[in-house]
Chains A and B, each alone.
Chain A
Amino acid sequence: MFLNIAAAVVTVLTFVAIIRRVETRLALLTGGLVMALLALNPQAWSQAFFNSMTTAGLISVILPVMGFAAVMEVTGCNRHLVKMLTDPLLRVRMVLVPAAMLVTYVINTAISSAAGCTAAVGVVLIPAMMAAGIHPAMAAAAVFAGTWGSVFSPGSPHPAVIAKIANLSVMDVILAHKWASIVGAFLVAVLLFAESKLFKQDRDWTPEKAGSDLSKAKGGTQEALEKVNLIRAVVPTVPLILLILTLPQLGLTTGFLPKGLSVLEAMLIGTVLGMLITWTSPVKVTKDFFDGMGRAYAGVIGIIIAAGVFIGGLQAAGVIDGLINLLKTVKSAVPLLGTFGPFLLAVLSGSGDAAALAFNNAVTPHAADFGVKAVDLGNLAWIGGALGRSMSPVSAACIIAAGFAGLSPFELAKRNAVPMIVAALAVMLLL
C-alpha cells in the first residue's frame, strides 16, 4: 500500500517535472530510480536500462531512418522535396490554408522530425502565405498543424515499440491506423479552412496589421533553390515507397522486388540512391549516416531508455498489476485515457513521447483485457501524443513556426486547439 502511494506520488511528480520542462530523460530516469530504490530493488533500474538500450527491434528500425534523414539533409534532397510540393500550392489561393496543412503533413511523413519539418517547410511557406495576405499566425498555424504526419514514419520510436508489443511488423502498425489518421488529417484541414473563413484570417492581412515582429524572424538561411530537380525531390520518399510496395500483403513483390524489405534495407537503398543522384562524396555520406544514427541513439533511443527505466521502476514497485486491475473495472475508459493522457501531456510539455511510451509499455500489453487490440490502443496513444504536440505552444515546432511569423506561439496554439481536439476524438472513435 505504501509503495502504491509512493509510486503514484513519484509518477505525478515526474510528469509535473516534465511539464515544468525539466529534461525529459532526466525526469524519467530519476522517477524510475526513486521507485526502484523504494522497492529495495535498485537492479530493476539497471536491468530496465540494459533491456531498453539493447532492444534490437528499436535500434534496427529507428537508427537507419535517422541516418538516412541526415543524409537527405546534407545532400539537399529535402529542400527539393519541399519546393516541389510547395510551389504549386501558392497558385490555389482559395484553399491555401488547408492545402498548406496537408502538404506539410505529407512532407512530415518523409522528414519525420516535427521541428525539422517545420523549419524546412515553414521557411518557404509561411512568408509566401503571409505575402498572399493570410494572417501570419494562421499561416504558421497551418504549417504547424501538419506536423503530425510523422505518424506514417517508421523512424518514430512508437511504431517500433507498438510492433514489439503487438508482435507485428513496424509497417503493419502504421498501416493499422492509416484510415483514422487520414480522416483525422482531413478533419484538421477542413476545420482550419472554416476557421480561416469564419474569423476572416485568409485575406488582406499584412504582418504590420497583425502586429507581428519580423525582426527576429529567421530569414531563409539557405540560398533559395532556383529550380526543382525532380529526381532529387523524390529521393527522400523512396524508402517509404519501397517499404509500402514490398509489403507482403500487397502481393506486388516479384522476383525483382524482394518480399518484405526491412526498414534497414530500404534506408540503405535510399542512402545509396541519394549519394549517386547528388553525386556526393561517399566519405561524407558515410559520416553523415553514422552521425545521424548516433544522434538518434542519444535523442530517440535515449527517451525510450528513460521511459523503459521509469516503467521498470513502476514494475519494481508492483503497481503495474494494480493499475491494470483498476483499468479492467473501467474498460471503456481505457481508449479515452490512452488518447487524451498523452494528448494532454503533449500540450503541456511539448512532446507526447514520454507519456505515450509510458502508457504503451505499461498498459498496452494488456489491451486484450480491455477489449481492444494492442495495436489499436498503442496507435491511439501515439497519435494522441502527436496531435497534442501539434497544438502545444511549448513544442519546438511551434516555436519555430511562430518565429517565422513573428508572433507568440500561443497565437498558433489558439488556432490549432479545436481542430486537434476534434481530430483526436475522430481517431479515437475510428480505432
Chain B
Amino acid sequence: MVMNVFAALVTVLAFAAILKGLEVRLTLLAAGLVLAVASWSLAAFPEAFMRSMTTSGLISVILPVMGFAAVMELTGCDRHLVKLVTDFLMKMRAVLVPGAVLATFLINIAIPSAAGCAAAVGIVLVPAMIAAGVHPAMAAAALLAGTWGSVFNPGLMHNPVIAKIAGVSPMDVIFGHSRASIVGILVVAALSFIIAKVFQQDRGWTPEKAGAIVGGAGQAQALPLERVNLLWALIPTVPLILLVLTSDRLGLTTAWLPKGLTVLEAMAIGTVLGMLATWTSPEKVTRHFFDGMGRAYGLVMGIIIAAGVFIAGLEAAGVVKAFLEALKATTSAVPFIGTFGPMLLTVVVGSGDAVTLAFNNAVTPQAAQFGLTPAHLGSLAMIGGALGRSMSPVAAAAIIAAGLAGVNPVELTKRNAIPMLAAAVAVMLILGG
C-alpha cells in the first residue's frame, strides 16, 4: 500500500517535471531509478535499460524510418513534397487537423503497428502540416490521435484473443465494435478540430515560434523552391505506398510485389530511389542514412529506453500488478472499469497490450454475469487501451510523432487527452449500454 502511494507520487512528480520542461530522458530515468531503489530491486534498472535498448521490433522500425527521413532532407525531396501538398493543404486548412486524424486512422488499419504507422505516415504528414502553419505539437498530436485504427485489423493480437473467448471469428469481433469505433474516431476528429480552432493551433505557426527543435527530420525551410519536381515530391511517400500496397490484408500482393514488405525494406527501397531520382552521391546518402539512424537512436530510442526503465520501476514497485488485481476483482460497473482501467494504465505505461490481455483473459470470460457479451466487453478493453495509448506521453508512437515534430511528447498528451476521454465515453455507452 505504502509502495503504491509512493509510486503514484513519483509518477505524478515525473510527469509534472516533464511538463515543466525538464529533459524527458533524465526525468524518466531518475523516476525509474527512484522506484527501483525504493522497491529494493536495483537490478530492475539495468535490466529494463538492456531490454529497451535492444528491442528489435522498435529498432528495426524507427531507425530505418529516421535514416530515410535524413536522406529525404539531404536530397531535398521532402521540400518538394511539402511544396506540392502545401497549396492543396492550404485550401482545406480548415479541416487539416481532423483530416490528418482520419487519414492516419485509415492507414493504421493497413499498417497496424502504432509506432510503425506513426513513423511512416508522420514522415509525410508532419512536415507538410507544419509547413501549412499548424503548430508542430498539434500536427504530431493529430497523427497520434489516429493511431488506434488497428482495432479494425484482424491481425491485431486482441481481436483473435477476444474471438477465441467469445467463440466467434475475429471478423465478427470487429463488426461487433465497428459502429462504436467509427463513432469514436469521429468524436476524436471533431474534438481535435475544435481544440485546434479554440487554441488557434491551426494557422500562422512556425517551428521557431512554437519552440520546436528543428533539424530532426523533414524540416522544410532553407531555400524556397522555384518549381516542384513531381518525381522528387513522390519519393517520400514511396515507402508508405509500398507498405500499404503489400499489406497482407489488402490482398493486392502479387508475384511482383512481395507480400508484407517490412518497414526496413520499404525504407531501403525509398532511399535508393531517392538517391537515383536526385542523382545524389551514394557516399553522402550512406552517411546521412546512418547518421539519421544514429540520431534517432540517441533521441527516440533514448526516450523509449528511459520510458522502459520508468515502467520497469513501476512494475518493480508492484503497482502494475496491484492495478491488474484490482481490475480482475471488479464486480460492479464492469463496462466502466473495463474501458477506463486499461485506458488509465496505458496512459501511464504507454502500451495497452499487457493490460488489455490480462483483463480479457481474467474478466471477459465472465461477461455474461455483468449482462454483456464477451465480444463487447473484450472490445471495450481493447479500444480503451488503444485510446489510452493515443494520449500517452511514453508510448512509442507518441515519442516518434513528437520526435518528427521536434516537440516534447507531453505536448501531445495535453492536446489529445480530451478527445480520447470523450471517445472512450462514447464507445463505452455504445458497447456497454
Report A's interface with B, CB cutoff 8 A: 22-23, 25-26, 29-30, 43, 46, 49-50, 53-54, 56, 59-60, 63, 262, 264-265, 268, 282-283, 286-287, 290-299, 302
Contact = CB atoms under 8 A, between A and B. Distances in A.
B60 A26 contact: no
A298 B25 contact: no
A30 B302 CA distance: 30
B68 to A, nearest CB: 13
The majority secondary structure among interface residues of chain B is helix
CB-CB nearest 4 A-B residue pairs: A294-B298, A298-B294, A54-B56, A56-B54
B273 interface: no
B268 interface: yes
A144 B92 CA distance: 63
15 contacts: A29-B286, A43-B258, A46-B268, A49-B268, A50-B60, A50-B262, A50-B264, A53-B60, A53-B264, A59-B53, A264-B50, A293-B302, A294-B294, A295-B298, A299-B294
A60 B53 contact: yes
Given A54-B60, A56-B56, A26 B283 contact: yes
B50 A286 contact: no
A294 B268 CA distance: 20
A16 to B, nearest CB: 16
A23 B299 contact: no
Interface in B277-327: 282-283, 286-287, 290-299, 302
Contact of A302 (B46, B264, B293): B293
Contacts of A297: 63, 293-294, 297-298
B106 interface: no
B87 interface: no
B77 interface: no
Given A54-B59, A60-B54, A286-B25, A25 B258 contact: no
B139 to A, nearest CB: 24
Nearest to B26: A286
A331 B264 CA distance: 39
Given A49-B268, A298-B295, 15 more contacts: A22-B283, A23-B282, A26-B286, A46-B268, A50-B60, A53-B60, A54-B54, A56-B56, A265-B46, A286-B25, A290-B299, A292-B298, A293-B53, A293-B302, A297-B293
Contacts of B56: 50, 54, 56
Contact of A63 (B53, B283, B295, B296): B53
A235 B23 CA distance: 25
Contact of B46 (A23, A264, A283): A264
A283 B297 contact: no
Contacts of B23: 283, 286-287
A296 B301 CA distance: 13
Contacts of A53: 59-60, 63, 264, 293
B290 A25 contact: yes
Given A49-B268, A265-B46, A294-B298, A59 B54 contact: yes
Contacts, number: 101
Contacts of B293: 53, 297-298, 302
A53 B302 CA distance: 16
A295 B294 contact: yes
Which of A56, A286, A291 has its CB near the most chain B CB atoms (within 10 A)?
A286
A298 B291 contact: yes
Nearest to A49: B264
B60 A294 contact: no
A294 B299 CA distance: 8
A152 B57 CA distance: 32
Interface in B34-87: 46, 49-50, 53-54, 56, 59-60, 63
B88 to A, nearest CB: 34
B29 interface: yes
Given A290-B302, A295-B298, A302-B294, A23 B287 contact: yes
A294 B264 contact: no
Contacts of A63: 53, 297
Contacts of B292: 298
Contacts of A298: 290-295, 297
A23 B53 contact: no
Contacts of A46: 262, 264-265, 268
A147 to B, nearest CB: 23
A63 B54 CA distance: 10
B298 to A, nearest CB: 3
Contacts of B258: 43
B286 A25 contact: yes
A26 B281 CA distance: 11
Interface string B18-40: 00001101100110000000000
A262 B283 CA distance: 36
Nearest to B57: A54
Interface string B257-276: 01000101100100000000
Contacts of A283: 22-23, 26
A416 to B, nearest CB: 29
Contacts of A286: 23, 25-26, 29
A299 B290 contact: yes
Interface in B220-269: 258, 262, 264-265, 268
A268 B49 contact: yes
A290 B46 CA distance: 15
Nearest to B70: A298
B298 A293 contact: yes
A249 to B, nearest CB: 21
